[in-house]
């Protein structure tokens, strides 16, 4: 079949939209959101797949596995739709190009190419005789992963921010008390996010005053199998007795990032390994100074805001100066429909899932 068809074909758009919808079932983070569907020779969808996060099946493998599970043993006459060109490099998962070839799928429709060094899968498949079309709902696919692509271009991990606050955006009362503003259900939700990130970052003041453990725990309060790297950003030393050190020397599950510059801290983490893998997804939990620095630097990719039905009036605000002096400079955010949707009720709290707006809307 060999020749490329680089065009946005109107007839393919509804099926690619189905793949984009599947992509949004996944979690943002170290890898992009990717969805895939497989259709038979009549154009009927026979399998759907999506990527669920680092270390899990890629969308193409997920869809192929679903097709086999549904009893389709011969996929040679099927068409694979995927929102990102199949990867050609093996990592925690095998290369999707190899899996597609093994499944004898020779018609592949992609929304967009991979802008990173991992790209080139579409061209490889063409060289092996497949017919590959690229460009169906390309702009929509690129907007879906706009912030992930930016993180790759900047040579840094993807950044998720967690903000737990009162209704009037306070993270502590006037006397400094802050535990707990939000509910146990909100904290459990945060721990589910902690379980899938590579590192958690707070500032030196939070480490000293709140003395958090910064570990990931299950709903029973027990440590989860996966524990992120615990990080403290700032020039003040982390207290030796801090809970987050777990009594261990630096380098054993925790580290101090001796800088006040967010991008420098992120690039240090990008060059740091943890549990045998690179740090590619960081959860920033504050406090005020650190959160403000990340927002001011434009280095926030995803936001979870947990708001309790509580008014404090005076007290410490969630954010300080982020460089905004007039309304037009404000950071516009949009509801993020990925990862379970934009709004979640957690007991009496409301969790809003947001992301900085991309060109013509990121999501």
- What residues are labeled active site? 60
Q: List Cβ neighbours of 351 (8 Å cut-off, separation of 6 or more).
A: 186, 189, 304, 305, 306, 307, 343, 344, 345
Tokens at residue 100, please?
């597609």
Query: Is 206 annotated as belonging to a binding site?
Result: yes
231 annotated as belonging to a binding site for a ligand: no
- The response to whether 58 counts as a known ligand-binding position is yes
Annotated binding residue at 214? yes
Two tokens at 162? 């967690």
User: Which residues make Cβ contacts (< 8 Å) with residue 30, sequence separation at least 6?
Assistant: 53, 54, 157, 158, 198, 280, 281
Find out whether 178 is annotated in a ligand binding site.
Answer: yes
Token pair for 320: 């300080």
Count of other CB atoms within 10 angstroms of residue 247: 9
The response to whether 266 counts as a known ligand-binding position is no
Torsion of CA 22, 83, 51, 191, to 10 degrees: -80
Segments in the chain forming alpha helices (H): 13-23, 59-69, 96-102, 121-127, 138-144, 146-153, 184-194, 204-209, 262-270, 288-296
Q: Is 287 annotated as a binding residue?
A: yes
293 assigned ligand-binding residue = yes
Residue 288 annotated as binding? yes
* 331 annotated ligand-binding residue: no
285, containing H or E segment: strand 281-286
Q: 290 labelled as ligand-binding?
A: yes
Question: Residue 245 has what DSSP assignment?
Answer: G
Contact 231, 201 (CB under 8 A): yes
Kindly report the backbone phi and psi dihedral angles of residue 170, in degrees, each rounded to the nearest multiple of 5, phi listed first: -110, 140
Confirm if 363 and 355 have CB atoms less than 8 A apart. yes
On whether 243 is known to bind a ligand per the annotation, the reply is: no
Binding residues, by number, are 58, 87, 96, 164, 178, 180, 194, 206, 210, 214, 217, 285, 287-293
Binding residues for NADP(+), by number, are 164, 180, 210, 287-293
Binding residues for substrate, by number, are 178, 194, 206, 214, 217, 285
Binding residues for Zn(2+), by number, are 58, 87, 96
């Amino acid at each position: 079949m060999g020749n490329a068809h680089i065009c946005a074909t109107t007839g393919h758009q509804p099926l690619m939209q189905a793949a984009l919808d599947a992509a949004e079932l996944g979690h943002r983070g170290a890898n992009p959101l990717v969805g895939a569907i497989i259709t038979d020779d009549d154009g009927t969808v026979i399998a759907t797949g999506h990527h669920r996060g680092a270390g899990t099946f890629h969308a193409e493998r997920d869809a192929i596995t679903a097709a086999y599970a549904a009893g389709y043993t011969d996929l040679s006459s099927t068409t694979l739709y995927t929102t990102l060109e199949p990867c050609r490099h093996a990592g925690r998962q095998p290369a999707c190009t190899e899996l597609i070839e093994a499944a004898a799928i020779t018609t592949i429709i992609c929304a967009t190419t991979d802008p990173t060094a991992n790209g080139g899968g579409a061209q490889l498949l063409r060289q092996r005789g497949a017919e590959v079309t690229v460009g169906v709902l390309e702009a929509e696919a690129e907007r879906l992963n706009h912030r992930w692509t930016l993180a790759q271009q900047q040579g840094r991990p993807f950044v998720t921010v967690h903000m737990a606050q009162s209704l009037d955006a306070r993270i502590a009362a006037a006397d400094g008390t802050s535990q707990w503003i939000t509910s146990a259900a909100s904290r459990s939700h945060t721990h589910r996010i902690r379980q899938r990130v590579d590192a958690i970052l707070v500032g030196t003041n939070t480490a000293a005053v709140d003395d958090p453990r910064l570990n990931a725990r299950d709903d029973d309060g027990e440590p989860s199998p996966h524990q992120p790297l615990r990080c403290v950003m700032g020039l003040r030393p982390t207290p030796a007795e801090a809970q987050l050190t777990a009594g261990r020397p630096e380098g054993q599950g925790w580290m101090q990032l001796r800088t006040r510059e967010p991008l420098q801290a992120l690039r240090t983490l990008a060059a740091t390994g943890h549990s045998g893998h690179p740090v590619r997804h960081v959860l920033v939990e504050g406090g005020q100074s650190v959160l403000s620095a990340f927002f001011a630097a434009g280095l926030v990719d995803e936001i979870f805001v947990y708001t309790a039905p509580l008014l404090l009036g005076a007290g410490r605000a969630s954010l300080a100066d982020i460089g905004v002096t007039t309304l037009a400079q404000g950071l516009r955010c949009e509801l993020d429909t990925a990862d379970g949707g934009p709004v979640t009720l957690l007991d009496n709290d409301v969790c809003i899932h947001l992301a900085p707006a991309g060109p013509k809307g990121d999501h």
